[in-house]
Amino acid sequence: MALYEHVFLARQDIAPQQVDQLVELYKGVIEANGGKVGRIENWGLRTLTYRIRKNRKAYYTLMNIDAPAAAIAEVERQMRINEDILRYMTVRVHELEEGQSAMLSRRDRDDRYGKDEDRPRRPRRSRDDSNNEGDE
């Protein structure tokens, strides 16, 4: 069997409990087709870079999967049908990561060192300042 990392985005207007139900549904599909689901990470509600089907935010979830290709094909088929799933992506990997993913470790770093908005910034120069430099 092959190893996969599978990430899917669920609509913002469903409850977090419904996201957990979706995870259990797809976990059941994978196990019914002879696969195993390892780690499941819920990355929470995050802002999208651009709108997807009129949604500005989505619930992100990562699943580490050890399954045959047929199981992955079935999960992806069911995700295409489900209206609550905005996007999904499955990547075949040589080995699964141990510990937290980069997305969760970034959240921990932000908690420790503060968000980018908290850092002091240089004051911006106005257009008038840049025009005056050439005059002197």
Three-state secondary structure call for residue 74 = helix
* Residue pair 62/100 in contact by the 8 Å Cβ criterion: no
Judged by average pLDDT, the poorest of 31-40, 92-101, 113-122 is 113-122
Domain definitions of the chain by residue range: 2-95
**Cα→Cα distances 33→39, 69, 127, Å:** 18, 10, 64
| Between 95 and 58, residue with greater pLDDT | 58
Report pLDDT digits (tens) over 44-58: 899 999 999 999 999
Q: Which residue has the tokens 């770093």?
A: 109
Fold of 2-95: Alpha-Beta Plaits (3.30.70)
Higher pLDDT, 130 or 128: 128
Q: How far apart (Å, rounded) are the C-alpha atoms in residues 18 and 21?
A: 5
